[in-house]
Amino acid sequence: MAKMRGAIVVNTERCKGCSLCVVACPQDVIALAPKKVNVHGYPYVEAVLAEKCTGCASCGIVCPDGCITVYRKRVEE
């Protein structure tokens, strides 16, 4: 049986840490990186529970700076 999985890639150098994607994610996959900032001094988001990502793309849709790319892949179980 095949199941869809997602994977997100965050452009951490462009992320401003607004957390809109964190709120939008129904699976709680992403969170602000604790005590990490990018070259511009902003905290950024990262996938903390990547295996739970379903590829719904809610995070990428709400990102005002287009920092998140979402991929979907089929995995066999």
Distances (CA, A) of 34 to 23, 31, 38, 46, 71: 16, 9, 12, 10, 25
Q: Which of 5-9, 12-16, 72-76 has the lowest mean pLDDT?
A: 72-76
Q: Which residue, chain included where needed, has tokens 């903390």? A: 48
Q: What is the mean pLDDT of residues 22-45?
A: 95
pLDDT band at 75 (very low <50, low <70, confident <90, very high): confident
CA–CA dist 55, 49 (Å, integer)? 13
Predicted TM-score (pTM) of the model is 0.86
Q: What is the mean pLDDT of residues 38-61?
A: 94
